Amino acid sequence: MLKNKNYRYKSAQTLLLLSLLTGASFTVKAQASSAELFTSSLLTPKNSFTIGVEGPGVDKYGNLYAVNYQHEGTIGKITPDGKASIFLELPAGSVGNGIRFDSHGDMLIADYTKHNILKVEMATKKLTVFAHEGSMSQPNDIAIDNKDRLYASDPNWKAGTGRIWRIDTDGKFTLLDSMKTVNGIDVSPDNKTLYVNEVLKIWAYDLSPKGEISNKHLIIEFPDFGMDGLRVDKDGNIYQARYGKGVIAKISPQGKLLREIVLIGKKPTNVAFGGKDGRTMYVTLQDQGDLETFRVDVPGREWTMRKKN
């Protein structure tokens, strides 16, 4: 997320309050696969999540997950038919941010408060600390390549600094670069480029088969507002959350701004591809405490990669 996460979350609407009191789940409106392209609509009720809503991630069955559903420290789940509920309560003191799925279908969660990467075995919901690095400020967003290696952004909002880490499949952390505050991160479809945003810039690094980075070069720089999470489609286009502007910017691999998708909320924190064909985009909104959704023309990179497994 763009801001320091020591926050109080907003109170929910009456329907949600009843849900909290009874422990019940509720159903959200599912996104029709035939919806008009690049037109955003609400997926969940406002304030169904806290203002710490982030993630999001989609499993191989099409279930959507995002952090801080109903209250802080949870993982929320929305099924393809629109049923929303708490999937998991994280350990006391842990708060999730980025979510990804590995080639085995297990969930990986950036636990920024305890400087962990958590792993959830989806078949049993068994939760373990996959990796820990006490010198990190967060981790914040995470990306995954075709060898199940993770890449994590690690911003220090107060100091205005940031780092990029690689986390190997044995849980080992390797520091890749230091810069100003970093946030969104993803890998190109051919696994040869790592994209990272820093303040108002999106950078690209050459990514080696060993997970090493080099040749940092600028993709695009924006003049205003902010940036948060990003994802890449299977053609290499970048979908960048523009925090404060209320749009998702679609950017070519060459750095051309292709379009801006206007959202209902103004503070998108992250995006993910899903749906039956990988062409449904899910967006988490801090100011609304909810998720929005719209259809796109090309499936997501990670969704396509997982379908091949």
Instruction: Per-residue pLDDT tens, the chain, 309 aa: give them.
Output: 544 544 333 333 433 433 443 344 555 554 444 569 999 999 999 999 999 999 999 999 999 999 999 999 999 999 998 899 999 999 999 999 999 999 999 999 999 999 999 999 999 999 999 999 999 999 999 999 999 999 999 999 999 999 999 999 999 999 999 999 999 999 999 999 999 999 999 999 999 999 999 999 999 999 999 999 999 999 999 999 999 999 999 999 999 999 999 999 999 999 999 999 999 999 999 999 999 999 999 999 999 988 876
In b/e form, how buried is each residue of 81-105, taking b as 16+ CB within 10 angstroms?
Answer: eeebbebbebeeebbbbbbbbbeee
**Cα(205)–Cα(197) distance, integer angstroms:** 11
Amino acid 228: pLDDT: 97
Bridge partners (DSSP) of residue 205 are 194
CB-based contacts of 10: which residues, under 8 Å, 6+ apart? Answer: 47, 50, 51, 289
Domains of the chain: 43-307 (2.120.10.30)
Sign of CA dihedral 149, 199, 296, 258: negative
Residue 269 · residue 54 · CB < 8 Å: yes
Q: Phi and psi (nearest 5°) for 132?
A: -140, 140
How crowded is the C-beta side of 277, counted as CA atoms within 13 Å?
A: 10
Residue 84, both tokens: 């929303």
- Strands 280-285 and 247-251 come out as unpaired
Phi and psi at residue 219, to the nearest 5°? -95, -50
Q: What is the pLDDT of residue 308?
A: 72
What DSSP letter does each residue of 173-193 carry, written as one string?
Answer: EEEEEEEE-EEEEEE-TTS-E
Q: Which residues contact residue 185 at a Cβ distance below 8 angstroms, ignoring those fewer than 6 apart?
A: 141, 142, 143, 151, 152, 153, 164, 194, 195, 196, 197, 230
DSSP state of 300: B
Q: What are phi and psi of 60, to 5 degrees?
A: -70, -10
Q: Which of these, 269, 305, 302, 262, lies nearest to 287 by C-alpha position?
A: 269
> Which of these, 135, 113, 114, 157, lies nearest to 4 by C-alpha position?
157
How many H-runs (helices) and E-runs (strands) does the chain carry?
2, 25
User: 269 with 285: CB under 8 angstroms?
Assistant: yes
Contact 230, 238 (CB under 8 A): yes
Q: Helix H segments across the chain?
A: 14-22, 301-307
The values of phi and psi at residue 304, to 5°, are -65, -40
Return all residues near 123 (Cβ < 8 A) that are at least 6 apart. Answer: none
